[in-house]
Amino acid sequence: MTAGFPRSPAWATRYLLCIAGMGGLLYGIDVGIIAGALPYLESTAALAWKLNAQQLSFIVAAVLLGSVLSSLFAGLLADVVGRRPAMVLSGALFVASIPLIALADGYVPLLCGRLLQGVSGGLIGVIVPLYLAECMDARRRGRGAALFQLLLTVGLVAAAVVGLVQARSVQAATDVAATLPEAARAAAVLAAKDHAWRAIFWACLTPGIVFTAGCLLLAESPRWLAQRGRLDAARAVLLRTRAAADAERELAEIARPQAQAARGADPLLSRRYVLPFLLACLILACNQATGINSVLAYVVNILNRAGLAGANANLADVLLKVLNAVMTVVAVLLVDRKGRRFLLMTGTAGIVVALLGVGLLFRANEVQQRDVLAQVSRLARDDGLALRLDAPTLRALGADPSGPPQVLTVAYAYGPFTNVASIRSDDPALPALQARRADTVQPDSVIGTFFRRLHLNPFPDPAAAAESPLVIEKAQVGPLPGTRHGWLVAAAICLFVASFAVGPGVCVWLALSELMPTRIRSNGMSIALLINQFVSTSIAAVFLPTVGRHGYSTIFFFGAACTVVYFLASAFLLPETRGKTLEEIDAQFARPAAK
């Protein structure tokens, strides 16, 4: 902080926590903002830009992919320029991403904006917890990391509230348009949805500016300064937030491992470095394998499919994220009292129960779906498939138009290019399900051409689909669940999010920053978060195609199985780090080797 600011340790600590914790707010917005925007983006982009389910999944996953890319160099960047300048850069990238997304007029600029937002999130996810861990004293380090998670949940709540406001705006526009002719009604609803998702992203601009400006007034990390031999500067930073005696004692602890590293003690492949690094990677991989980011990103879609229509799903989304924030407050109060292992074991046990409950609820509905592959295949033509789920189509599929609302899901392919599309009979705009070659077969890319020249084929070849006929691979129709079913699913997801918030949500950031020894902390955290984001990106990228082909129950049962592994790792592998300095935790991993 600058010289003009008060130097009271209490004030300096609060300011540090407030601004660094704001990074959690942006991270939460990164994850949560797409949930409210996706239903409207899905409606407008599919019609205006002809986006398919895989492209929409890529738009959702782009934030996570951007996080993966930035995680590759976040630790190096933090080491080279310092923790504070790296945080300023992450905020500036977030601010730049908002107009790129909100003003997008096609798939590419929207995807690029989301990637840039993800790059910002990846930097924040590594550097802010690293900064908090290196600046907070041992007694309050747990609460410092927990505050990052708390503001992350506040970001999720803020994103959900914005989504709810826009959902009600769209609902009002739909009610007004109900009196218009069919063509005008569809155009009015489409315009309202287009405005809604853009307004949702514009609302994120202000917190990004506040975080970026606030970081300019923070002090540098004392451990980063000590690593560069600037002990006087490190002492000055410590004195801002600690009493003089505590500052001198901690500075001596910080300087000791730096001196040992300078003498070449303990190679990087020794137990004290490899074991905590692998443990942190395992914890972070399991953290995302629960499916938390995908559930938060797709929650409105999930609840819509579960039986909560329109603004009800957005209202449940808001309640869900408020619960997330409340349970994070509980975690803040408990993390330095009960310890990390206790909260992780409690949280992961609750997650297993919740995910099994959601999976069973969806499974009970999915077994009611009927195979209509033959009927849909007969409706397909050489130039593709186009059908509305109106009364004649419902009768052709063997469904009663006067009965409960129905949902039709079709998986189709043109050669190696596949897609999944769904339509509902209760959609007021009654959109058409279209399977056309131009919308499914994507143009060749430089990357795809490069790999094919190497005789590798990770990407489908457009030439192979040029003359391929439309093949309907799967088609199912069935009743939409009722509102009661939707609220039961919402309750189970609430248990999932509450359990995650009180355990993994807080403790994962502590595991990431506490387990890594000082010598490898920045780069080790970067690699561990890379694994974390890779798992998260993979799940988000395949979410829509997977639930379209195999049902929502499949994705939730998979998350439950991964969380069982998480529980076992927490119970039997993770050491307790409550109340210990970073240097004491480092020494704990070195002791068996010394013996």
User: Rounded to the nearest 5°, which phi and psi values hold at 444?
Assistant: -65, 155
Give, in order, the Cα–Cα distances in Å from 37 to each of 198, 421, 522. Answer: 8, 19, 34
362-366, 393-397, 466-470, 512-516: segment of lowest average pLDDT: 512-516
Alpha-carbon span 64 to 514, nearest angstrom: 24
Q: Domain ranges in the chain? A: 219-264, 370-481
- Between 71 and 92, residue with greater pLDDT: 92
236-240, 278-282, 576-580: segment of lowest average pLDDT: 576-580
**pLDDT value, residue 352:** 95
Q: How many CB atoms lie within 10 A of CB 148?
A: 30
Quick one: angle between helices 292-306 and 271-289, nearest 10? 10
| CA contacts within 13 A on the Cβ side of 531 | 18
Q: Is the pLDDT of residue 6 over 50?
A: no
* % of residues, the chain, pLDDT over 70: 83
Instruction: State pLDDT tens for residues 74-90.
Output: 878 888 888 889 999 99
Tell me the average pLDDT of the chain. Answer: 78
Alpha-carbon span 482 to 485, nearest angstrom: 5
Q: Is the pLDDT of residue 11 over 90?
A: no
Q: Is the pLDDT of residue 135 over 60?
A: yes
Q: Is the pLDDT of residue 112 over 60?
A: yes
| 21-32 exposure pattern, b = at least 16 Cβ within 10 A, e = fewer | bbbbbbbbbbbb
**pLDDT value, residue 452:** 52
Banded model confidence at residue 495, pLDDT cuts 50, 70, 90: very high
Instruction: State pLDDT tens for residues 417-460.
Output: 777 878 887 776 667 778 887 777 766 554 455 545 555 555 56
Q: Is the pLDDT of residue 558 over 90?
A: yes
Instruction: State pLDDT tens for residues 17-60.
Output: 788 778 888 877 877 777 777 777 777 766 667 666 667 767 77
Q: Is the pLDDT of residue 140 over 60?
A: yes
Alpha-carbon span 224 to 240, nearest angstrom: 16
